[in-house]
C-alpha cells in the first residue's frame, strides 16, 4: 500500500527522523490557519499517490495567508496529472502545509528490497531531488549502496560509509548516521517495500530534514499493519480496483482495452493479456482469480469485469491446478443466468476436472464461445470485439 | 534421474488441511510416497489414510520423510519453512502465497547455514514424471514422461506449457515452479543448473515474467549451458509500476521489463517465444534441429 507524503512523514517522525513543521489540511480555511501558525511563509503540497507533483501544478509556495488561500483553492479538488498518473490524473482531497526551509544541499536516501541478494538495501546519493534511476544510469559512481544483513542488522559503519561518501561529515556525521539507521528501522518495522527521502535536505543552519518522503508497504503484510491499513486512501485507486478488493479479489488491475479477462494464476493472466495483444486486441484488465474455489467468487469477479463499460467481450482462460474448472464453469453459467456477462464471452478450460467443467457449459445451453487452446481463445475474443 | 524428486522421495505435508489433504490424495493416486502430514495439535490422527504428526522432526524420525510440501498459511509459513530446515529435510517446497517479503529475507538467511534446498514460495511445486514423484498442486493428466525440463515463476504457465508439449508428443522429465515472489529459495539460474546436470533432461523450457533481474541472471548461466533453452517472458503488455498478481511481478526500472529480459535471453543463446501459445511448437522445432527427438 502506498502512503501519502504526510502519512510517510508522520511515520518517519515517529522514528526520530526530522521533518518540516506542518500539518495536513482539506479546506482553504484550514490552510490559512496553518499558514498563520507557521508564520506566513509556507509550501502547499497536493497529497496524491504520484511523483512529479510540482511539475503538475500540485506544489506551490505561498508567502502570506492570501497567497496560501489562493493556492489551496487551486490545489484542493484538482485532478493532478503527472507523467505517472495517465491523462485522467488523480484527485486531490488534501494538502500538506509546511514551513519553507532554507536549503543548503539536497541528497537522496532510500531503503528498498534488493531481490538479487535477498536483503534490504540502503541507497544514497549526493544528488538529491533527482530521479535516482537516471543517476544510476548516468553516474553510477555517485550512488552508495549498503545491504542490511538480516541477522546482524544495519551497522553503524555502513551509515558512516554512506555519510562520508555523500559529504555528510563533520557535525553532520552523527545525525546523518542516526537518521539512516532510523530509516532502516522504520522500513523493517513496517514491512516497507520502499522508504524514500528525496530530497534529504541540509538546511542553511546545518540541520538534516526530510523535505519529501515516500513510503510503501508490502501488501503481503497487511495482516500485521492494521493501523497503517486503516488509513488507506482509496480515492487514489481505480474505483473498480477498490470494488474488486472489497469483494475479496486482490489481483485486479484496470487497463485501457476492451477485452475483459478472468484468468487463474498471475502468470497465465499476464500471458493472456500478451496473447490478446499478439492477436491484435487490447485487454481491459488483469485479473487473477487464484484458487477461488467458489462459484460466488467467480460471479463477483465477473460482475466487476462485465459491468466495466469499456468491456466489449470477455475472455475466461482457466488452467486448473488447485483451482477447479468445474467450479469456475458453474460460476460463469450462474453469472450469465443472473444477467451479467451481456458481452460475447469466450471460455477456455483446461486442467483439473475439465470434463466436468465442459459438461456444465454444455448442459447450460447458454451462448458461450468455447475455445480449445490459448491462441484460439485469444483469437476468438479479438474477433468478438471486431464484430 | 530427473531433478529434485525421484522414486525415493518420501513426502511430508506441512499444513495438513483441506488443500494439503486433497493434494496428498492426488499425489498418492499418481504413485508418490506421501508418508505423513504435520498439523500441530492433531498428532496421532489418521486423515485419508495418512498419519498426522505434531512436528516435522517426528516425520523425519518415524517416517524417513525427505521432502516437505508446505501449505501453511502465509502469516505462519516462515516458521514452517524453518521448522523443515531445522529437522534436516533436504527439499522443502512451499506452495503458500502471500508471505511477507521481510519474513522470506529472514528465512533465506537461515537457509544459507542449512542443507535444505527451498523451492518457492508461491509456487506450484515439483514433479518428476517418469519417477511418479509429485510434490505440488499441478494437474497430473497433462504430463507425459520425456526429456524436457520446465522451469517457471508462474504455476499456471507450467501447466500451459506442459500441456502444449504433451499435445505435440514431447514428454517432460521434471517441472519446477520456482515461485512468483521477489525472494525465493531457488532461483531460475539454480533450477537451470539442476536440469543441465540431469541426465534425463535434453532441453529446458524457462518461463520468466516481468519484475526483478532473475531472468538476466539466468541468461548469464544459459551462456554456459550445453542444453538448448526455449523461453517465454510473461507480462510484455503489463503497465509499469503495477503489481501483476505475483508480488514479484512489478516493473521497476528498465531491467524489469519483458524486453530487457528477452534481449538478455536471446543474447545468451536461448530461443525466445513472443506468443505464449507457441512454447510447445518452438520446443519441437528446437528439438528437431538439434536432433534431440
| CATH number of residue B107's parent domain | 3.40.50.720
Final residue of a domain: which of B122, B154, B183? B122
Mean pLDDT of all residues in B205-210: 96
What pLDDT sits at residue A373? 86
| Number of folded domains that form chain B | 2
**Considering CB atoms only, which of B101, B214, B239 is closest to A218?**
B101
* A residues 288-317 lying closer than 8 A (beta carbon) to B: 288, 290-291
What pTM was computed for the model? 0.92
- B102–A218 CB contact, under 8 Å: yes
Partner-chain contact A191 B101, CB within 8 Å? yes
**Is residue B132 a part of any domain in this protein?**
no
Active-site annotation holds for A108: yes
Top pLDDT among A171 and B239 is at A171
User: Do both B46 and B85 map to the same domain?
Assistant: yes
Residue B80 sits in the same domain as residue B225: no
Across residues B98-125, what is the average pLDDT? 96
Judged by average pLDDT, the poorest of A205-209, B202-206, B253-257 is: B253-257
Residue B128 lies in a domain: no
Assign B240 a pLDDT band (cuts: 50, 70, 90).
confident
Question: In chain A, what are the domains?
Answer: 1-20+102-237 (3.30.470.20), 21-100 (3.30.1490.20), 239-386 (3.40.50.261)
Query: Is A115 within 8 Å of chain B by CB?
Result: yes
CATH classification of the domain holding B205? 3.40.50.261
Catalytic residue among A196, A237, A241, A312: A196
Say if A189 is an interface residue toward chain B (CB within 8 Å).
Answer: no
Chain A residues within 8 A of B189 when measuring between CB atoms: none
List active site positions of B. 246
What's the average pLDDT block by block, 10 residues per block, for chain A (387 residues)? 95 98 96 96 95 91 96 95 86 96 95 89 87 77 91 95 95 97 98 95 96 95 92 86 83 93 93 94 93 86 94 95 90 94 95 93 94 92 91
B158 pLDDT band, cuts 50/70/90, is very high
Q: Which pLDDT belongs to residue A187?
A: 98
Distance from the Cα of residue B77 to its chain's centroid: 17
- Name the residue among A220, A276, A374 with its Cβ closest to that of B101: A220
Statement to judge: residues B228 and B94 lie in one domain: no
Domain end residue (candidates: B122, B146, B177): B122
Question: Is A199 within 8 Å of A132 (Cβ atoms)?
Answer: no
Is there a domain that residue B133 lies in?
Answer: no
Asked whether the beta carbons of B49 and B39 are under 8 A apart, the reply is no
- Asked if the structure places residue B129 within a domain, the reply is no
Based on the fold, state whether residues B187 and B250 are members of the same structural domain. Answer: yes
pLDDT of B133 higher than 80:
yes
Among candidate residues A5, A106, A108, A252, the one labeled active-site is A108
One domain, residues B224 and B272: yes
Task: Say which residue, A249 or B13, is predicted with more confidence.
Answer: B13
Residue A196 known to be catalytic: yes
- In angstroms, rounded to a whole number, what is the distance separating the alpha carbons of residues B187 and A324? 29
The domain of B281 spans 138-293
Instruction: Specify the range with the lowest mean pLDDT, choosing from A248-252, B22-26, B33-37.
Output: A248-252
Cα–Cα distance, A66 to A54 (Å, whole number): 20
Domain boundary among the residues B93, B122, B151 is at: B122
Cell of A209: 530534514
Measure B75 CA to nearest chain A CA, in Å. Answer: 8
Distance linking the first and last C-alpha atoms of chain B: 18
Question: B118 and B214 share a domain?
Answer: no
A243-257, B59-73, B150-164, B255-269: which has the minimum mean pLDDT? A243-257
Same domain for B83 and B190? no
3-state secondary structure of B112: coil
In a domain, B131, yes or no: no
ipTM of the prediction: 0.90
Nearest to A111 by CA among A27, A23, A218: A218
Interface A-B, measured as beta-carbon pairs within 8 A, has a size of 175
A273 and chain B: CB distance < 8 Å anywhere? Answer: yes
Give the per-residue pLDDT at A170: 94
Residues 215-234 of A with CB under 8 A from B: 218-221, 223-224
CA–CA gap between residue A336 and residue A330 (Å, rounded): 10
Is B275 a domain residue?
yes
Q: How confident is the model at residue B141 (pLDDT cuts 50, 70, 90)?
A: very high
Q: Which residue of A has its CA nearest to B167?
A: A373
pLDDT at B278 over 80: yes
Same domain, B287 and B153: yes
Residues B148 and B196 in one domain: yes
3-state helix, strand, coil in chain B (%, to 5): 35, 25, 40
Cβ-Cβ contacts under 8 Å for A74 (sequence gap 6 or more): A57, A60
- Regarding whether B224 and B82 lie in a shared domain, the answer is no
* pLDDT of the residue at A97: 97
The answer to whether residue B142 neighbours chain A at the CB level (below 8 Å) is yes
Angle at A106 between CA A48 and CA A167, to 5 degrees: 145
- Kindly state whether residues B184 and B257 are assigned to the same domain: yes
Same domain, B153 and B106: no
Amino acid at each position: 500500500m502506498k502512503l501519502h507524503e504526510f502519512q510517510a512523514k508522520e511515520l518517519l517522525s515517529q522514528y526520530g527522523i526530522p521533518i518540516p513543521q506542518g500539518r495536513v489540511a482539506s479546506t482553504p480555511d484550514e490552510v490559512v490557519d496553518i499558514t498563520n501558525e507557521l508564520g506566513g511563509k509556507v509550501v502547499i503540497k497536493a497529497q496524491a499517490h504520484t511523483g512529479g507533483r510540482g511539475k503538475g501544478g500540485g506544489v506551490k509556495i505561498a508567502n502570506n495567508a492570501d497567497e496560501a488561500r489562493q493556492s489551496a483553492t487551486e490545489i484542493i479538488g484538482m485532478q493532478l496529472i503527472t507523467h505517472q498518473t495517465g491523462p485522467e490524473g488523480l484527485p486531490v482531497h488534501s494538502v500538506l502545509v509546511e514551513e519553507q526551509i532554507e536549503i543548503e544541499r539536497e541528497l537522496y536516501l532510500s531503503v528498498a528490497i534488493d531481490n538479487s541478494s535477498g536483503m534490504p538495501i540502503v541507497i544514497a546519493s549526493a544528488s538529491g531531488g533527482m530521479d535516482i534511476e537516471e543517476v544510476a544510469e548516468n553516474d553510477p559512481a555517485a550512488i552508495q549502496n549498503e545491504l542490511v544483513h538480516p541477522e546482524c542488522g544495519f551497522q553503524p559503519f555502513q551509515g558512516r560509509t554512506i555519510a562520508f561518501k555523500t559529504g555528510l561529515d563533520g557535525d553532520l556525521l552523527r545525525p546523518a548516521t542516526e537518521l539512516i539507521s532510523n530509516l532502516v528501522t522504520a522500513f523493517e518495522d513496517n514491512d516497507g517495500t520502499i522508504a524514500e527521502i528525496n530530497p534529504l535536505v541540509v538546511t542553511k543552519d546545518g540541520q538534516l530534514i526530510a523535505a519529501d518522503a515516500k513510503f510503501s508497504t508490502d501488501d503481503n503484510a497487511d495482516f500485521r499493519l492494521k493501523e497503517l491499513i486503516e488509513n488507506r486512501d482509496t480515492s487514489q485507486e481505480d474505483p473498480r480496483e477498490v470494488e474488486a478488493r472489497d469483494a475479496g479479489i486482490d489481483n485486479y488491475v484496470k487497463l485501457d482495452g476492451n477485452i475483459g479477462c478472468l484468468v487463474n494464476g498471475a502468470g497465465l493472466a499476464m500471458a493472456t493479456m500478451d496473447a490478446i495483444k499478439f492477436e491484435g486486441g487490447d485487454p481491459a484488465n488483469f485479473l487473477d482469480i487464484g484458487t477461488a474455489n467458489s462459484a460466488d467468487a467467480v460471479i463477483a469477479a465477473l460482475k466487476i469485469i462485465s459491468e466495466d463499460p469499456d468491456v466489449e467481450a470477455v475472455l475466461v482462460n482457466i488452467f486448473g491446478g488447485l483451482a477447479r474448472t468445474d467450479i469456475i464453469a458453474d460460476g460463469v453459467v450462474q453469472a450469465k443466468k443472473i444477467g451479467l456477462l451481456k458481452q460475447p464471452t469466450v471460455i477456455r478450460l483446461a486442467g483439473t476436472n475439465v470434463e466436468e467443467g465442459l459438461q456444465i457449459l454444455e448442459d447450460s445451453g447458454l451462448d458461450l464461445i468455447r475455445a480449445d487452446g490459448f491462441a484460439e481463445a485469444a483469437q476468438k475474443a479479438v474477433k468478438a470485439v471486431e464484430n | 534421474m530427473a531433478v529434485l524428486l525421484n522414486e525415493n522421495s518420501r513426502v511430508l505435508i506441512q499444513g495438513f488441511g483441506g488443500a494439503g489433504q486433497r493434494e496428498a490424495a492426488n499425489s498418492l493416486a499418481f504413485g508418490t510416497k506421501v508418508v505423513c502430514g504435520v498439523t500441530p495439535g492433531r498428532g496421532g490422527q489418521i486423515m485419508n489414510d495418512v498419519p498426522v504428526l505434531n512436528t516435522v522432526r517426528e516425520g523425519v524420525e518415524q517416517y524417513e520423510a525427505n521432502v516437505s510440501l508446505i501449505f501453511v498459511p502465509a502469516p505462519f509459513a516462515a516458521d514452517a519453512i524453518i521448522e523443515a530446515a531445522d529437522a534436516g529435510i533436504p527439499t522443502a517446497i512451499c506452495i503458500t502465497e502471500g508471505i511477507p517479503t521481510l519474513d522470506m529475507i529472514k528465512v533465506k538467511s537461515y537457509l544459507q547455514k542449512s542443507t535444505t534446498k527451498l523451492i518457492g514460495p508461491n509456487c506450484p511445486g515439483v514433479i518428476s514424471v517418469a519417477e511418479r514423484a509429485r510434490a505440488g498442486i499441478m494437474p497430473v493428466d497433462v504430463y507425459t514422461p520425456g526429456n524436457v525440463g520446465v522451469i517457471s515463476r508462474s504455476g499456471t504457465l507450467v501447466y500451459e506449457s506442459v500441456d502444449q508439449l504433451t499435445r505435440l508428443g514431447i514428454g517432460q522429465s521434471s517441472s519446477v515452479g520456482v515461485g512468483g515472489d521477489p525472494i525465493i529459495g531457488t532461483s531460475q539460474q539454480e533450477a537451470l543448473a539442476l536440469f543441465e546436470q540431469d541426465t534425463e533432461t535434453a532441453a529446458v523450457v524457462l518461463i520468466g515474467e516481468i519484475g526483478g533481474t532473475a531472468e538476466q541472471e539466468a541468461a548469464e548461466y544459459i551462456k554456459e549451458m550445453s542444453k538448448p533453452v526455449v523461453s517465454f517472458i510473461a507480462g510484455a503488455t503489463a503497465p509499469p509500476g503495477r503489481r501483476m498478481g505475483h508480488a514479484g511481478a512489478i516493473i521497476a526500472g528498465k531491467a524489469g521489463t519483458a524486453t530487457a529480459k528477452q534481449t538478455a535471453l536471446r543474447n545468451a543463446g536461448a530461443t525466445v517465444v513472443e506468443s505464449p501459445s507457441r512454447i510447445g511448437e518452438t520446443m519441437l522445432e528446437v528439438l528437431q534441429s538439434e536432433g534431440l527427438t
